[in-house]
Amino acid sequence: MVKIEDLGIQEIEVYDIETEETNMFFGNDILVHNSCYVCLEDVVKKLGLTDHTKITNTLDKFAKDHIQPVINKAMDDLFKEMNAYEQNLFMKREAIATRAVWRAKKQYVMDVVDNEGVRFAEPLLKATGIEVVRSSTPAVVRTALKEALTIMMRKDEDSVINYIDDFRTKFNKMRFDEIASPRGVNNLAKYTDARTVYSKGCPMHVRAALMYNVMIKKFNIEDRYPPITEGSKIRFCYIKMPNPTGENIIAVVNGLPAEFGLDKYIDYETQFTKSFIDPMESLLTAMGWHTEHRSTLESFFD
């Protein structure tokens, strides 16, 4: 790093090629966007490959010999068509994965065995845009999501469901501060209402923070539990109704004050669903899998 220069706010228009109702499209039978994903499962089957090293070597060679030349020609054709000064558009193979699942644009999980020519002894889980990599997900849940996704990538549906059941049991025994979702809070003044605590349209985590401030005033414990202020780092969690706050969510800065009397109201089921089940379910649905065992007519006769 030699120099850092602040360019300020740049008013630059950015264009993204899209088609109606989706931001992705197929060109020459290849799914196109910022990245192109090609499934070569049929090639692997046709060649009768089963050894992972041979599969990776073959796919790497296939990309170099058959895919890369097509991409290079397309970039050269575009350069000539646009009458540009220089050819500065280059694309190359990024990852080779044994399995991949897409939830939406830039939201996917891949079990990568080779990344830009770097070969891994063991597959490396790559998650982009998934809750496992988001700081707003509780740390224990991020760890569990990573383990669950690894099982999803490498085992079967029953193994995933069994892991979910085991983690649910552990989750239901954890403390408030372990399962609460971390978040930065802003716009407290904007949403504060002297009569109703918070105004209409107040974001959930801001509502939880405002209710915390009301509660520490109510119990006159502000000397031991400082109020949540603009920019504070909080943790918020769902609580069962009815409860002493009259709300279904509460935030804290550190631990949950005993004076609130909310320990028995922690809504483990909703918190588990929102933080863990929802992100897992969206990915499992894409695979045709479920988060719990389901009885079928066939199983009735087993």
- Give the span between the Cα atoms of 95 and 37, in whole angstroms: 10
* Mean pLDDT (the chain, rounded): 88
Residue 269, pLDDT above cutoff 70 = yes
What's the pLDDT score for residue 48?
94
| pLDDT at residue 300 is higher than 80 | no
pLDDT digits (tens, 9 = 90+) for 30-66: 656 666 788 889 989 999 999 989 999 999 999 999 9
Q: In which band, very low, low, confident or very high, does the pLDDT at 104 lie, cut at 50, 70 and 90?
A: confident
Give the per-residue pLDDT at 270. 97
pTM of the predicted structure, to 2 decimals: 0.79
* Geometric angle at alpha carbon 98, from 95 and 99, rounded to 5°: 100
DSSP state of 210: H
User: Tell me: the pLDDT tens digits for 108-155?
Assistant: 899 999 999 999 989 999 988 888 878 889 999 999 999 999 999 999
Q: In CATH, which superfamily holds the domain spanning 177-269? A: DnaQ-like 3'-5' exonuclease (3.40.1820.10)
Tell me what pLDDT residue 31 has.
Answer: 57
The backbone region for 261, taken as left when phi is positive above 0, alpha when psi lies in -120 to 50, beta otherwise, is left
Q: pLDDT at residue 277 above 70?
A: yes
pLDDT digits (tens, 9 = 90+) for 7-35: 666 566 655 556 566 556 666 666 566 66
Q: Give the pLDDT score at 14.
A: 58
Q: What is the pLDDT of residue 37?
A: 81
Mean pLDDT, rounded, for 93-103? 91
Q: Could you tell me the pLDDT band of residue 91, with boundaries at 50, 70 and 90?
A: confident
Q: Walk across the sheet containing 118-128 and list its strands.
A: 95-104, 107-115, 118-128
Query: Which residues in the chain are classed under CATH 1.20.1280?
Result: 103-173
β-strands 118-128, 181-184 pairing: unpaired
176-234 tens-digit pLDDT: 999 999 999 999 999 999 899 999 999 999 999 999 999 999 999 999 999 999 999 99
Q: Start-end ranges of CATH 3.40.1820.10 in the chain? A: 177-269
Strand-pairing partners, residue 236, are 181, 251
Q: Is 184 helix (H, G, I), strand (E, B) or coil?
A: strand
**pLDDT at residue number 105:** 73
Report the top-level CATH class of 103-173.
mainly alpha
Cβ(215)–Cβ(226) below 8 Å: no
**Residue 225: DSSP 8-state:** S
pLDDT category of residue 296 using cuts at 50, 70 and 90: low
What distance separates the 2 farthest-apart alpha carbons in the chain?
Answer: 74
